[in-house]
Amino acid sequence: MENAKDLMPLQCKNIIKKYKEKEVLHNIDLTLESGKIYGLIGRNGAGKTTLLSILAAQCPATSGDITLGKETVWENQQTLSHICFSRELNPVAESAIASMKVKDYLKAASIYYPHWDKEMADRLVKTFELEPGKKILKLSKGMLSMLTIILALASKADYTLLDEPVAGLDVFMRDKFYKLLLEEYEKTGRTFLISTHIIDEASPVFEEVIILKDGAILLKENTEDLLSRAVHISGREDAVDAAVKGLKTYRPEKIGRSKGITVLMENGQEFQSSGEISVQPVSLQNLFIALCGDEN
Amino acid sequence: MNEGFKRHIHYISLYQGKIFSIIILGGLIYGIFLTTVINNPPDEIIRYLETILAIIPCSLITNYIRYQIDFCLSMGCTRRNIYLSIYILTAELLVESLAVFLLMKMIASTSITVDIIRSFVISELLSATLGVLNGVLIRRFGFAKMALILVIIYGGLAVFALNSFFLMTEFLSSPSSWLLIIGGILILYGLIVTLFGKRTIDRM
Amino acid sequence: MNEILTQEKSIYLQISEMIENDILRDILLEEERVPSTNELAALYAINPATAAKGINLLVDRNILYKKRGIGMFVTSGAKEKIRQNRKEEFYQRYFKTMMEEAYSLGITREDLIRMIHAEEDKK
């Protein structure tokens, strides 16, 4: 891998964001080390897009700092040239991008991103079968996603943030995206932070996962380590309760005398297994639902 | 000037090509209309058309602020670079619009000669090309040199527009205060727009 | 290779098990090169760090070793080592669960012994 790994981390320190009087991000501290693929998951309205936007200095935080290594990011052209934020494209009828053609959009990108790889962009346009002459307003949701993916990959930015890049893509295209992402990651060691709702599909690609709940970071951890701490226990209610005594539990489900519950153990903790309970691993999606569902 | 600003101006210059074509077209139609279609057009029509012509570049700047800026920000452009580009864009449009008005005034108030029309077309094409080439010029020569080149050329344009003393004295002897008013409004508008643009960006 | 990944177990453990299975089945021979971290990551669409973790686990167990600049290779005697490890794991993996299940169903020791004899007679 090339010198992308030499870059210092991208950090949020004590970020607060308020819209009018409503605080939507509360004291976010986040460190993104270079050379990793991070997943960002959270419910709609949790603040993912706002957080990504603030990290990329496209939206000002109400207070707090964003730094890349020792440099601040806000209004700093030098550091900004290392960051690409590929947000969901939403061509409202009057917006600038609506009347742009695909090739105009990519031409603009080639102007703004100093490390733009035109050859890669052209190749991806062919792979995704996008028509360069088509107006963005006329693109389907899937094609819009493909365009955001091309922007993200061909920008060759050291820190690339993608906001829901697979929205609208069918399963084959999503598969293609993960493969392209890993290919690019292996070649360059760039850092990626990707927000997604398609959790289980994407989780094997994420080295670390960040869960955002109600504007605060619930956890940030190596994906495999996190999942090894999570189990789902079910059986007769008293047996389950005995087994999970002293452990952090989430989302109890009851029907009749049977009970199921999700457990997230701390390092070193164990539950008491017995013949009376079923113990099953928890997928990232189900863990997320357990941690961020309404019942808590 | 930093790299980011050069890149932003490069992008803007592509966008400007469209604006300038509209200005030239508007100016040409105005001038031709006044001098060929209507004989001795009444003052009101002249003022009305001039006002419309003044509104076109201003609305284009407003359009830029309302829509393009969001796009530029999403591509990683800093707000400072956007403020600077608004000042530049506004200044350019003001200068060039005034040049258009002056020339149009001259054409409307004197007898047309083929020379005048030819010179006008050439000067407008030149200024439009410069607008489009801004990006290239900045990247090649750097901001300072480019500014110098532009000042010389636009200055020359203005001088050319006011060139003939004869035309000027005739022109000024029946002073068109309306032109001065429009010029004043444009400058005021330019100031308001740059302020408005700054506040719009700050609120994003 | 080419087994499907499940949600049932950590991905890196699945990777190491798959490689071990292939060694047992003579799909990967001793002193032969094993797919690299990147090749595995691309094949299964997983993060290379995860693939690396699976491979490193096997390096720690002396199933694989690294030839600098060339890649990962199966150590001599790996097949036997895996068999030994799995014999020791047999109790945890299969036997214990079977015993717990048998107990909860009321299957006695004698029933189990009878089942074992019946299986052996079939062969």
How many residue contacts between A and C have a Cβ separation below 8 Å? 52
CA angle in degrees (0–180, nearest 5) for B47-B35-B156: 80
Token readout for A145 is 């996603």
Are C37 and C86 in the same domain? Answer: no
Same domain, C16 and C62: yes
Q: What is the pLDDT of residue B180?
A: 60
For residue C104, give its domain range: 79-122
- Give the neighbours of chain A: at least 3 Cβ pairs within 8 Å: B, C
Q: What band does A209 get if pLDDT is binned at 50, 70 and 90?
A: very high
What residue spans define the domains of chain B? 3-203
Checking DSSP bridges between strand A37-42 and strand A208-213, what pairing results, if any? parallel
Q: Which of C11, C41, C103 sits opposite A224 (nearest CB)?
A: C11
Question: Is C4 inside a domain boundary?
Answer: no
Least CB–CB distance from A108: residue in B75, B80, B81: B75
Q: Residue C20 maps to which CATH number?
A: 1.10.10.10
Would you put residue C69 in left (φ > 0), alpha (ψ -120 to 50) or beta?
left
Shared domain for C29 and C73, answered yes or no, is yes
What is the three-class DSSP state of A120?
helix
Provide the pairing of β-strand C33-34 with C71-74. antiparallel
Q: What is the pLDDT along chain C (123 residues), one digit of tens a residue?
A: 777 888 778 899 999 999 999 999 999 999 999 999 999 999 999 999 999 999 999 999 999 999 988 899 999 999 999 999 889 888 887 888 888 888 888 999 899 999 899 999 887
- With cut-offs at 50, 70 and 90, classify the pLDDT of residue A5: very low
Structural domain includes residue C5:
no
pLDDT given at position B69: 82
Residue C115 domain flag: yes
Smallest CA–CA separation between B46 and chain A, in Å?
Answer: 32
> In this complex, is the C-beta atom of A105 within 8 Å of any C-beta atom belonging to chain C?
no
Residues A6 and A58: beta-carbon distance below 8 Å: no
One-letter amino acid for residue C55 of the chain: I
Strand partners, A84: A160
Contact B9, B85 (CB under 8 A): yes
Helix (H) or strand (E) holding A27: strand A22-32
pLDDT band, very low/low/confident/very high, at B190 (cuts 50, 70, 90)? low
Range in A76-80, B135-139, B171-175, C115-119 the model is least confident about: B171-175
CA distance B53 to B97: 8
Give backbone dihedrals phi and psi of C61, rounded to 5 degrees, phi first: -85, 5
pLDDT band at A279; cut points 50, 70, 90: confident
Indicate whether A4 pLDDT > 50.
no
Average pLDDT over residues B104-133: 56
User: Of A55, A66, A29, which Cα lies nearest the Cα of A161?
Assistant: A55
Q: Are residues C72 and C84 in the same domain?
A: no
Residue C24 falls inside a structural domain: yes
Among C88, C85, C86, C113, which residue's Cα sits nearest to residue C99? C113
Our answer on whether B and C touch (3+ beta-carbon pairs < 8 Å) is: no
The better pLDDT of the pair B55, C24 is held by C24
More confidently predicted of A13 and B83:
A13
Q: How far is A239 from chain C, CA to nearest CA, in Å?
A: 14
For residues A211 and A221, give the distance between their C-alpha atoms in angstroms, rounded to a whole number. Answer: 9
* Model confidence, pTM: 0.81
Mean pLDDT of A162-172: 94
Residues C92 and C61 in one domain: no
Are C17 and C73 found together in one domain? yes
> Does C107 lie in the same domain as C85?
yes
Cα-trace Rg, chain C: 18
The segment with the largest mean pLDDT, out of B132-141, B191-200, C24-33, is C24-33
pLDDT for A31: 96
C-alpha torsion B126→B129→B130→B131, nearest 10: 130
What is the Cα–Cα distance from A126 to A119, expressed in whole angstroms? 11
Q: Is residue B63's pLDDT more than 70?
A: no
Our CA-based measurement puts residue B111 at a distance from the nearest CA of chain A, in whole angstroms, of 43
Which is higher by pLDDT, A20 or A121?
A121
End-to-end CA distance of chain C: 30
- Rounded to an integer, what distance in angstroms lies between the CA atom of residue A205 and that of residue A39? 8
Report how many domains make up chain C. Answer: 2
Query: Is residue C6 in some structural domain?
Result: no
- C47 falls within a domain: yes
The model's pLDDT over B81-104, given as tens digits with 9 standing for 90+, comes to 888 887 777 776 666 666 656 655
pLDDT at C93: 79
Closest-CA residue of A relative to C105 is A275
For residue A1, give how far its alpha carbon lies from the nearest alpha carbon of chain C (Å).
11
Return the structure tokens found at A199. Answer: 């959790």
Buried/exposed code over C61-95 (b: 16+ C-beta within 10 A; e: otherwise): eebbeeeeeeebbbbeebbebbeeeeeeeeeeeee
Q: DSSP 3-state assignment of C63?
A: coil
* Cα–Cα nearest to A78, from A90, A86, A70: A70
Separation between Cα atoms, residue A99 and residue A93, nearest integer Å: 8
Q: Which of A84, A85, A111 sits opposite B11 (nearest CB)?
A: A111
C-alpha B50/C-alpha B39 separation (Å) is 17
* C-beta separation of B43 from B34 below 8 A: no
Mutate to test the interface with C, among A176, A182, A227, A288 (most CBs of C within 10 A): A182
Residue C68 shares a structural domain with residue C83: no
C47 closest CB neighbour out of A179, A200, A204? A204
Q: Kindly list the residues from chain A whose CB atom is less than 8 angstroms away from the CB atom of residue B3.
A: 77, 81, 114
More confident residue, B64 or A152: A152
How far does CA B71 lie from the centroid of its chain?
23
